[in-house]
Structure 1
Amino acid sequence: MTGAPHGSLYWNPGAISYLAELMLALVLSGYLVVRATREIRQGRVHASTFLLTILMLAISLTFLASMLRVLTAGGWVSYAMPWSRTDAWTTLAMPWSRPFGGIVSTSLILLAYHFPKPLRNARTEMRIVGTSLIVLTLVEVAIAVKADLAILTYTAWWRPQWIAGWMNLATVGAAIIFWRQLAVASGAARSASAGHRVFDAIASVWRPAANREARVARAFLILTILPMIHTTALFLPDEGQFGRYPLDIFICWSALAQLVGLTLVLVGYLPERSSFLFKLTIIGLGVLLATVNGLAWIVGPTYAAQFRAPGLPVSGQALRYAPRGGTLGYAMQPTAFLPEPARGQAIGESGGRIDLMFPLQFYGRSYRRLYIDRLGTIGFDHVPQATDAAFGQGVQPAIYPMLVDTANSDARITAFGDAERLIVTRRDRCDADATDRCYQVQTILYADGRIDVQYLDIPAAPPFTLFSPLRAPWIVGITPGVDLRAGPPILMDYHRAFLMYLDRLFAPLVLFTIATALIAAIGLPLLFSNFLVAPLERLLRGIRRFRDGEADTQVAISFNDEIGYLIESFNAMAREQTALTRRLEDRVAERVAEVADMTVRNTKLEERTRLSADLHDAIAQTLASASLHANALPARLRDRSGPDVEAAEQVARLNRHALNEMRLLLTELRSAGEQFSPTNRLTELLDSFTRLHGLAISRDLAEAAPLPPEVFAMFYRVAQECLNNVVKHSGVREVELVFDALEDRALLTVSDQGRGFGAADMGRRERLGLGIMRDRARMIGATLEIDSAPDQGCRVTMIWIR
């Protein structure tokens, strides 16, 4: 990955962090752009969607600019570094992280006014605040333009850190507005008194959310805490054993958490049913990127601690820069270690000018004075600044004995000169526990142009820090500045060597991260779709079918996991619901049948009652009158012969029998549905035939359980018809009747030893009587058997089984 413009970008843990943030932000930005485009095509643009899209795009650009800054290792005092081209877009893009951050702050504030719903009675306030933020963002744009112009002119310019405070205040303001949204959604504004409204608004932060809007407002309120911490981190110093490592680790992880949280809150609130897979993908991608980032930061410090700067001077070593004449510049070579005592004029914190007692030749030019800064760097145009080394070969002719500035040391610079040489000595005064960061270097400038650098005391393995080039030896050597006509510079850039050392490890990790993220972005949806979403969709389809009336719906179980258990629970519920429905349907059918049967019985009862009334009013009254006249006949025929009197008495008996039969029939019709004792009724029937016709009836009656009234009525009529046939046709007066009844079955047998009959002997009337008996048996589902032959009697058997 060092194939970036001019080999000036070097991958490191910080760049990996911003890459992870950028990739996740781009995914979410793409989702929002697609959604905003869809809303525009549908003609329903929502301000919240528009602001969220701008917010995420600005966050993505902020991450990109910050990643470029870290890739270049710039931004510590100036965006440029010695190895970067000042006119390259990668360099000029770095100052624009602040304008993009201003857009983020402005969008966040305006989003707070609109999301989840437009804040009531805040339109004027929103316009004032929004206009102010836009003006501040334009100021940041002007600052970025000025920074780019400074880079192009080799000028180290950095805006004061306090200017970033307005972004921090904007984030605080967004949190306050989201809090107001939460209070409104929770109903705090409806309280009667002002005190209660304030208390309810404060309590709404921890009270259970009343609705979806309240939950979303609370989530955004929490999410604004992380940007506040991010912007506050801009004011923190860079000092420390590990520089900014812990801070950048925290910022990266919290930024990833913020993006994932924003996705979950936003997509969970949007009215879409297809966002489940997207949320799972974002969570999986966020966890993956956080893992890669954590791995980079775990390996990075250990790997960096093993770095040893190649060619770094050591204690007791001396280097000589000897002029080569013409345009050849200087040659560097080892020389004898012959340090001079430290003496002479002390150089203050702001540096100082030294007037030479001899003309000093340096890169083809003669100098009578020079400038020394507080680190021992020697410049020939002005007091050197550490930022001078950030631009190409330097902004002025300079000598860098060893450019290093440790935080826990106090460099003491002295300068002593005579007619032939100038001796500049740096001795750091350090605490006892910080000797590994103390440097002692002596520079001797001779009148003939020779330069000797004596390294009195150099730490054996100075720790290099990613974001602080000056914390370890950065540059050693000499440079003619921007004018290279007198010869090339001799500069050893150890910080760049450190970055190249890190790049050898982390450049392959970048390819791995990008490839893994792409595979995850494509593979996670496929994986979740097959193993999670597809079973859930099958379950949803089954629920819809079940809801639409397919009661026997069953969903196939793919895996015996939690979703499989959920599907099996649904299947069991559907089966139980189906069984319950069928039981209810059976019960309803039974009830309907009962109601129908009851209706039929009621109809029959009504018909029986009507028929009973008609029989009573017509036939029964006539029979009663006929019976009265028949009873009077024997007395009137007393003077007649015996056969006439006997015939009159027989007529009277038959009339009385007919009247009794009619009354019995009326009683049956009126009392339909009541339970009768079969044996008692049959006994009454048999006794009446014995009394009227002189039949000798052998009877065997058994009653184990009462029969249904309609069943017994048919048995009764068949028995009656059989006895009538015996009286009319058998020619005998002996008959045998057997009746046996259980709850679900009954048997009737009537037999005699009379003349019997064959099929050819039966007349129309006899056939009619037998047909009526068969019809009666068929009405109750019974079977009727007639066994008879001439001169062999007759047997009638009727069997009923429920």
Structure 2
Amino acid sequence: MSVFLWTPFSISFLVQLLLGTICTGYLFFRLVTESRRGRMMVSNVAVTAAAFSLTCFIGLNFLAETLHPDLATWCLPWEAPFGTVALLAITVFVYNYPVPLVRLRSVESIVVAGLSLLYLMVEVWAAVWRVQSQSQGFVEYRPGVLDLVQLMTALWLLVVMVRQYLRAVRRDAAAGVTPGVSLWRLVTGEGLPTRASSVRAFLIVSLIPVAAIVLLTLRSYWILGGVATEIGLCWLMLLVLCGFSLVYLNYIPERSSFLTKITGVTLTTLLSILCGISWIIGTVYAEAFDNDGIPESGTAIRFQLRSDDSYFVSNTAFRFDNDLGDRQPGAFAVDLDPVFPFYGVERNRLFVDPNGIVSFDGPSSLRHVTDRFGGTGAIFPLVLDTAFRADVADSVAGEPESGLYFRQATDRILLTWYNASQRAAPDALYTYQVALYPNGVIEIAYRTVPDTVRANVISPLSSPALAGITPGWLNGEIDRVTFGSDLPLDARPMTGLVEDYRLAFLIYLNQIYTPVAAFTLLMTLAVSALMPLIFQRTLVRPLNRLLEGVQSFRRGTYPGAMRIFYKDEIGFLTRAFSEMANAQIALVQSLEDQVAARTQAAVSLADRNARLEERNHLSGELHDAVSQKLFSATMIADRVSGLVTDGDRTITTALSEIRGLNRAALSEMRMLMADMRPGGNCAETLGFSLKALVSSVAAAERFRIQLQVEGDTRLPDAVHKVFYRIAQESLNNIVKHSEAESVTIFLDALPSQSILSIFDDGQGFELDKVPEGCLGLEIMRERVQKIGGNLEIFSAPGQGTSLTLIWYERDIV
């Protein structure tokens, strides 16, 4: 006998068991690591305990679906206690993540701990009671009220998580999240701080086990079928493992978890795909399965009781009594008179179940026969999940309606299943009849059996599951036989004879899924061992190099270049970061150079300002000392000249010369002081600066100065200063040399071009006979040349002097 029989359910739970074992191992490793560092937290202990309990729960489900049917049912009672431990451990986790919600000795903490312990004790008691009942031959379900308690616990878990979420929002109110919008943010997830976002993620994942508990509750109260519940639980547990593990890894402060995440995601994805494929191919192979042992229409089997309490089984002539008797509403019990001998025991009461089960020691059902066909005596004409269709009608008038019928005659008892259908295949109709004779003979006649009976990979009991008789495993042994090929058959005393169609289908599936199970195990080992190595080389190593570059850049020790391992997204990021870092380093270096240049310019400007300030100081000193004395000497000379009589021409001439020399000296001094000051205010227009210059000269000299400004504007600083200095130097030369009576200055200044002309009616001079050492004209030309302008000077003895300065913007070099 093969202990393991692999099915799609087995593969699904195997996948979950592998993932749960890996998650539990990883969490336990982290817990030990934190314990050695002295940082063990209650939330981490709770999540590890929850993962371990959930893995045990999945393991029991795996055994219940994979073990031989004679062993599988013993795993069922212990599923609920481990599931309860997992649920309570998750409750402890949410009470302590991200921070403890209540104090350890608070009223709420004591009440919750007490109720949790009481609930766990009740679940353990229920499991022990179920094991004891099964040891007496009855498979009992877990009381439905415990599902309600479990559901309320799960709902309270959600309430606690919402409280943790709101508390995290209040703690991070500075991040822009207020309690007024927190519930809406709980739905959208937008703008949440990290702490509140992590609680929200766990809250969403916690909805999955709550959904699983809802399914169990609906099944307990017969609102939802067992098949739908099993499929839902299978996939919901897989989602719980994947979702909870990914959320936990995403929010733990550990950089090395990247390799764990990507390996876990890869393994989960591959196993999930394999799980889905196993269901698909299971459906296909189930369609191809043909169980030849199922009785054909128009056949009958006879079980003849012998004196040694054994049975002789043989085919017999087909006899079907059309007098069916009374239609029964469902399962029923009836007293037998006369009694019916069954395995040497006189039976005086009969219990009939619509699913094709006839028992004698008490009511029986499908769940009882799953454990070695039941612990007490029973007859199985054809066991399947039966439904009677009210809409089934026959073309022959007077045809009985679909249902279970009973008739007790003096010579026999008749039980008839008329037009019974499979619940999973309503169009497949079965009609068969059991005749019980006073001498213990049992005849089963099959009037209508579908030509093709399709097995159901999801629920093996939805198609014919078994046929035969049994004294109950508490009273004797049971042999599995094939009535289609083994008859006639002599049974041993007190030995049941059952044809197990369900086991035949499981053996058929086992041949298909054993390689799948082996491949799943090998693939898990390969992915767990090889994927970290592959990802270490192709992802983690390039990422570590990139992280090292980022860290060195933050420390200011960036090497200047990073190796690009592969031309993929990580390579692109590495290259982009390297270029960005180099550009920033170059920018910093450029800024340092610019700062140095600006510093040097500031030093030069400070030096120049110091010189200008000194020149202004000297100009002021000259004005206060020398200029005032010259002015006083000139005034005295004028008064003395007035006192001399007209006859004293020698004295008059001398005084006139003294007066002229004083005036010349005073004019030169004022020109010198003006030359020592800056060249006009460059913030003003050139015309404004020239007006100020003309006003200062006209106040000190006797000749007339006429200034004509045709156009005026602000010019570049260098151009402004050159124009001002040329005008200043020209007026200085006129004062000293020309003996002019009038001076005309013409200015036409535009933003792109300007012209300055100065005319005097003085004595003039010959340009080619300017004495050496007179640098004024040469300095003028040098200044004009620096701004790219043009300077023209015309003069002749007795004809005055004219000076013209022209500048174009394009001429600036």
Within 5 A, what are the aligned runs for 1:479-518? 479-481=470-472, 482-484=475-477, 486=493, 488-518=495-525
Aligned to 1:578: 585
Is 1:566 matched up with 2:573?
A: yes
Q: Percent identity?
A: 29
CA offset at residue 64 of structure 1? 0.9
CA offset at residue 61 of structure 1? 1.0
Deviations along 1:181-210, one digit per CA (max 9) or x if unpaired, are 12222239999xxxx999656445236354
What SS does the corresponding residue of 2:254 show, helix, strand or coil? coil
Aligned to 1:36: 31
- Distance in 2 between residues matched to 1:297 and 1:585, nearest whole Å: 68
Is 1:24 matched up with 2:7?
A: no
Aligned to 2:451: 460
**Of the candidates 182, 186, 198, which is equivalent to residue 216 of structure 1?**
198
- Distance in 2 between residues matched to 1:477 and 1:182, nearest whole Å: 60
Aligned to 1:412: 404
What SS does the corresponding residue of 1:156 show, helix, strand or coil? coil
Greater shift, 310-319 or 250-259, is seen at 250-259
Identify if the C-alpha distance between structure 1 residues 387 and 277 changes in structure 2 by more than 3 Å, giving closer, same or farther. closer
What SS does the corresponding residue of 1:515 show, helix, strand or coil? helix
- Distance in 1 between residues matched to 2:421 and 2:294, nearest whole Å: 24
Asked if 2 retains the 8 angstrom alpha-carbon contact of 1:116 and 1:217, the reply is yes
* TM-score normalised by length of structure 1: 0.68
Identify if the C-alpha distance between structure 1 residues 513 and 416 changes in structure 2 by more than 3 Å, giving closer, same or farther. same
**Of the candidates 74, 86, 89, which is equivalent to residue 107 of structure 1?**
89
**Of the candidates 320, 324, 337, which is equivalent to residue 318 of structure 2?**
337
What amino acid is the match of 1:147? Answer: R
**Of the candidates 258, 261, 277, which is equivalent to residue 259 of structure 2?**
277
Within 5 A, what are the aligned runs for 1:167-186? 167-186=150-169
Within 5 A, what are the aligned runs for 1:251-330? 251-322=233-304, 326=308, 329-330=310-311
Aligned to 1:424: 414
Within 5 A, what are the aligned runs for 1:391-410? 391-392=371-372, 394-409=374-389
What amino acid is the match of 2:405? Answer: I
RMSD: 5.2
What SS does the corresponding residue of 2:303 show, helix, strand or coil? strand
- Distance in 2 between residues matched to 1:209 and 1:699, nearest whole Å: 81
- Distance in 1 between residues matched to 2:558 and 2:365, nearest whole Å: 83
What amino acid is the match of 1:440? Answer: T
Deviations along 1:241-269, one digit per CA (max 9) or x if unpaired, are x9655554444444333333322322222
Asked if 1 retains the 8 angstrom alpha-carbon contact of 2:433 and 2:446, the reply is yes
Aligned to 1:159: 142
Deviations along 1:334-374, one digit per CA (max 9) or x if unpaired, are 222233333457667222232237x74x55x2636462413
Identify if the C-alpha distance between structure 1 residues 555 and 314 changes in structure 2 by more than 3 Å, giving closer, same or farther. same
Within 5 A, what are the aligned runs for 1:572-721? 572-595=579-602, 597=604
What SS does the corresponding residue of 1:354 show, helix, strand or coil? strand
**Of the candidates 116, 124, 130, which is equivalent to residue 133 of structure 1?**
116
What SS does the corresponding residue of 2:564 show, helix, strand or coil? coil
Identify if the C-alpha distance between structure 1 residues 99 and 742 changes in structure 2 by more than 3 Å, giving closer, same or farther. closer
- Distance in 2 between residues matched to 1:382 and 1:370, nearest whole Å: 9
Deviations along 1:511-544, one digit per CA (max 9) or x if unpaired, are 1222222222233333333333333222221122
Asked if 1 retains the 8 angstrom alpha-carbon contact of 2:422 and 2:429, the reply is no
- Distance in 1 between residues matched to 2:238 and 2:780, nearest whole Å: 86
Aligned to 2:51: 56
Identify if the C-alpha distance between structure 1 residues 562 and 246 changes in structure 2 by more than 3 Å, giving closer, same or farther. farther
Within 5 A, what are the aligned runs for 1:440-451? 440-446=431-437, 450-451=441-442
Is 1:439 matched up with 2:430?
A: yes
What amino acid is the match of 1:136? Answer: Y
Asked if 1 retains the 8 angstrom alpha-carbon contact of 2:165 and 2:196, the reply is yes
- Distance in 2 between residues matched to 1:35 and 1:400, nearest whole Å: 55
- Distance in 1 between residues matched to 2:782 and 2:230, nearest whole Å: 97
What amino acid is the match of 2:514? Answer: A
Identify if the C-alpha distance between structure 1 residues 132 and 467 changes in structure 2 by more than 3 Å, giving closer, same or farther. farther
What amino acid is the match of 1:428? Answer: Y
Aligned to 2:740: none
Asked if 2 retains the 8 angstrom alpha-carbon contact of 1:150 and 1:157, the reply is yes
CA offset at residue 313 of structure 1? 0.4
- Distance in 2 between residues matched to 1:479 and 1:352, nearest whole Å: 20
Greater shift, 144-153 or 55-64, is seen at 144-153
Asked if 2 retains the 8 angstrom alpha-carbon contact of 1:54 and 1:107, the reply is yes
What SS does the corresponding residue of 1:45 show, helix, strand or coil? coil
CA offset at residue 154 of structure 1? 2.6
Greater shift, 404-413 or 278-287, is seen at 404-413
- Distance in 1 between residues matched to 2:771 and 2:429, nearest whole Å: 147
Identify if the C-alpha distance between structure 1 residues 59 and 705 changes in structure 2 by more than 3 Å, giving closer, same or farther. farther
- Distance in 1 between residues matched to 2:513 and 2:136, nearest whole Å: 33
Aligned to 2:353: 374
- Distance in 2 between residues matched to 1:150 and 1:188, nearest whole Å: 53
Aligned to 2:80: 98
CA offset at residue 577 of structure 1? 1.4
Within 5 A, what are the aligned runs for 1:523-562? 523-550=530-557, 553-562=560-569
CA offset at residue 179 of structure 1? 1.0
* TM-score normalised by length of structure 2: 0.68
Is 1:150 matched up with 2:133?
A: yes
Deviations along 1:2-57, one digit per CA (max 9) or x if unpaired, are xxxx5243221122222222222222222211121122222222111111111111
- Distance in 2 between residues matched to 1:371 and 1:457, nearest whole Å: 25
- Distance in 2 between residues matched to 1:162 and 1:602, nearest whole Å: 96
